[in-house]
Amino acid sequence: MFNLPFDIAELIQLDPKTLVVTTREGKRREFKRDFVANDFSEYSKTLAAFSNADGGVLIFGVSDKPRQIVGVAQAISSQ
């Protein structure tokens, strides 16, 4: 079973000056630039794949090329 790390630095490594992410995607980690509600079915497929591979994480706020921290457009609200 995949356990989430206690420290974000164990999950993603980056250059603090440029915000370039040096960690790559893999069987248990996938980056998305932003959360888009219309893409929920795509996220569900990724989460199902993680479920079949003993877990994983979706990390929002990382652009693809270059792989860099960009943040998200709007925080997700539970209300």
What tens digit of pLDDT does each residue of 20-56 get? 999 999 888 999 999 888 988 989 999 999 988 888 8
Name the nearest CA neighbour of 28 among 71, 69, 58: 58
pLDDT beyond 70 at 64 = yes
Domain ranges of the chain: 14-60
- Whole-prediction pTM value? 0.79
44 in helix, strand or coil? helix
Instruction: Give CA–CA dist 72/34, Å, rounded.
Output: 5
